[in-house]
Structure 1
Amino acid sequence: DGVLDEDTVAEGLHKLGRSAPGTEYVYLNLSLPGRELSDINVLSRYVHLQKLELSYNKINDLSCISHMPYLLELNASNNELTTYFVFKPPKNLKEVDFSYNQIPKMQDLSAYQALTKLLLDYNNIEEIRGLEKCHSLTHLSLSHNRLIAISGLENLPIKILNLSSNQIEKITALDSLKTLQKLDLSNNKISSLEGLEEHDLLEVINLEDNQIAELRELEYIEDLPLLRVLNLLKNPVQEQTDYWLLVIFMLLQLTDLDLKKISVEEKVAAVNKYDPPPEVVAAKDHITHVMYSVLQPQRIFDSTLPSLDAPYPMLVLVGPLACGKRELTYKICRQFNNFFRYGPCHTTRAAYFGEENRLDYYFVSQEAFDKMVNAGKFIATYKYSGYHYGLGRDTVESIAREGLATCVHLEIEGARSLKNTYFKPRYILLVPMNKEKYEGHLRRKGLFSRPEIEEAVSRVDMCIKLSEDFPGYFDAVVNTDELDDAFTELSFLVKAYLGL
């Protein structure tokens, strides 16, 4: 008949221990799941219970709990409750499970300030309310209800929040939940991740089966330092080209994406594709030039010398923008004109004031540059400040034909690319040590924008760091604060190389 009696209670009692006042030994836990119970008023006499398990019954009245002042945990899931917490509040009640009932709305829980965990899954709740004074609540679950918005959670210490399988369209009202660690919003109608930013403790986000369509939505969560697990299964965004690698690249802190572990190899592949390290860029460029040059008719180049021990001589001056490398290149080629000839690079940028085509650079269109790449015309190429530069095979061969060595000036990217070839140049790093003076020099030239100047100055440290971190990367480093002094030092180095 569903009425609980003393004998049945006796079957479910367990865990003998001291009562809360400490005056006697009593049973602390009662477990009576799946007993078809509808009337449990007999429990009014069991005042010392601390844990009560009543799931899978037919209970619709829990007033007997008013007589359990020491209760800590209550599981009344899978019953026939239409209201909850209709009893005198046990002072230290911490965990409550009212899942799988017929509760239509939430009540004011101001009296339950010790509550840490509240489960209300599979009910008929339309609005989150009554939690304002629950200052200990760390775990709240309201999945499979009728929520259309997130509200009523301001300034709560919630760490785990499950609002899956509702009709929520926007991620709102989470701003003040600064302790949030796990968030489940799967199976809703969410189209934007706005509202998830600045949750620095958030580790897990489940957004499976929503309406997120754009990869740019990930910008809202890309700065979350502890984010490790993200689920975007069954969202339109998955149909985007390169979705998997792009998400990994944007969120390198992830360990799991769409219920799959992310491998180290996938992270490396993502970085190499979307923000490759300079060495990878140089290696890819080199592979391109080797591939296209192999497709051309093969011949012995003028730069091929009879002995493997004596490679074709080249001098490469490397340094940041307008640091004096062009002027010093010209001076060296004039002073040692019996040994060196200047080899201008091709570039897609427009000529600066005073520059001449074929003398300073070969200025070409992007289309012409690409055709030269495809025809295997370059030894090395690089990209700097949005423009392409390349050292042409014909440039070097025409100088070699005269029995002379090639002297060129390059940005650091060009040196990286050239180092992948079989050429063995002498690399000399030209670097302005006085950055303030260098910045003033760039400004006075009137050719460069503020961002270009800032980028150039920042590259001074990059060049110095490269030479310090990789001894031997450059054969020498020359300070270009004073060009005359730099030329004197450079001349001395070149004489030493030439054995003069």
Structure 2
Amino acid sequence: MFMRCFSRLVSAMAGPRPVVLSGPSGAGKSTLLKMLLEEYKGIFGFSVSHTTRNPRPGEENSKDYHFVTREFMQASVDRGEFIESAVFSGNMYGTSKASVQAVKDKNLICVLDIDIQGVRSVKTTDLNPIYVSIQPPSMTVLENRLRDRKTESEESLQKRLETAQLDLEISKEPGIFDVVIVNDNLDNAYAKLKHVLIEEIKKVQNINLSS
């Protein structure tokens, strides 16, 4: 009994670190994350964020986001149930402790896709993730990507660009991110991301082999 408990304790201590992916909308975070999940099935777990905005076409509740009311989310934040939360374009976004714990309980690398405000909030916790910033090669490229989506009003697009500019400036501050990946070529960016995470990937693979 003691050895079983000790083994579990050692496994938990040696478990994989979570990963924070941050960067402006349109930088390619979602595409890179999708590639990781497809190549490394059973390795990564996506921490599903909460938001008070309405779903976009094709988005599914509890898969893309937990779509909730503002009243529900604010009450949950007030109760201390969120690791981080922020307001963008009048809508709340955040990562709940339960979402992260659900992934960690499966001995998976928990991935958090959060903005720069969220990054600063996570840094005040004991989560100890690997901080990765995914960035566009230029603001011009980012604007073109966002316009090609055809999902934003002009006002919303301009707000996203203003936020992106601020995020990119803040990301230059020392100690904010462990690594910055400029997504000027998707394959190259993905190769760099895998290189950064390979040690944590091996941890999960070893846990799976020993279980």
TM-score w.r.t. length of structure 1: 0.36
Residue 472 in structure 1 maps to residue 163 in structure 2: no
| Percent of residue pairs identical | 30
**Cα pair 1:312 1:424 within 8 Å, conserved:** no
Flag the structure with more relative contact order, 1 or 2, with Cα contacts below 8 A and sequence separation at least 6.
2
Task: Tell me how large the CA RMSD over aligned residues is.
Answer: 2.5
Residue 488 in structure 1 maps to residue 191 in structure 2: yes
Q: What pairs with 1:382-393 in structure 2 (closer than 5 Å)?
A: 382-393=86-97
Match of 1:437 among 131, 141, 144: 141
| CA displacement, residues 448-478 of structure 1 (integer Å, 9 cap, x when unaligned) | 122332232334443332233x223101111
Mapped partners of 1:411, 1:420: distance in 2: 15
Query: Equivalent residue of 1:408, what SS?
Result: strand
**Cα pair 1:431 1:463 within 8 Å, conserved:** no
Q: What pairs with 1:396-475 in structure 2 (closer than 5 Å)?
A: 396-468=100-172, 470-475=173-178
Paired AA for residue 176 in structure 2: Y
* Other-structure match for 1:224: none
Deviation at 1:308, TM superposition (A): 10
**Cα pair 1:329 1:408 within 8 Å, conserved:** no
Mapped partners of 1:384, 1:311: distance in 2: 33
Q: 1:462 to 1:306 in 2, by over 3 A?
A: farther
Q: 1:344 to 1:474 in 2, by over 3 A?
A: same
**Cα pair 2:16 2:108 within 8 Å, conserved:** no
**Cα pair 1:399 1:406 within 8 Å, conserved:** yes
Match of 1:319 among 23, 33, 44: 23
Mapped partners of 1:358, 1:407: distance in 2: 15
Q: What pairs with 1:136-285 in structure 2 (closer than 5 Å)?
A: none
Residue 361 in structure 1 maps to residue 61 in structure 2: no
Gaps of 5+ in 1: 1-304
**Cα pair 1:377 1:394 within 8 Å, conserved:** yes
* Other-structure match for 2:50: 346
Gaps of 5+ in 2: 1-8, 204-211
Paired AA for residue 379 in structure 1: I
After TM superposition, the runs of 4+ consecutive aligned structure 1 residues lying more than 6 A away are: none
Query: Equivalent residue of 2:60, what SS?
Result: coil
Deviation at 1:497, TM superposition (A): 4.8
| CA displacement, residues 236-267 of structure 1 (integer Å, 9 cap, x when unaligned) | xxxxxxxxxxxxxxxxxxxxxxxxxxxxxxxx
**Cα pair 2:48 2:64 within 8 Å, conserved:** yes
Deviation at 1:499, TM superposition (A): 5.5
**Cα pair 1:431 1:460 within 8 Å, conserved:** no
Mapped partners of 2:41, 2:60: distance in 1: 21
Q: 1:398 to 1:496 in 2, by over 3 A?
A: closer
* Other-structure match for 1:186: none
Paired AA for residue 103 in structure 2: I
Q: 1:403 to 1:497 in 2, by over 3 A?
A: closer
Mapped partners of 2:74, 2:102: distance in 1: 22
Higher helix share: 2
Paired AA for residue 167 in structure 2: C
**Cα pair 2:85 2:118 within 8 Å, conserved:** yes
Query: Equivalent residue of 1:391, what SS?
Result: strand
**Cα pair 1:438 1:481 within 8 Å, conserved:** no
| CA displacement, residues 209-244 of structure 1 (integer Å, 9 cap, x when unaligned) | xxxxxxxxxxxxxxxxxxxxxxxxxxxxxxxxxxxx
Mapped partners of 1:308, 1:402: distance in 2: 11
Mapped partners of 2:15, 2:88: distance in 1: 28
TM-score w.r.t. length of structure 2: 0.81
Query: Equivalent residue of 2:113, what SS?
Result: strand
* Other-structure match for 1:370: 74
**Cα pair 2:135 2:180 within 8 Å, conserved:** yes
| Greater Rg over alpha carbons, structure | 1
Paired AA for residue 381 in structure 1: S
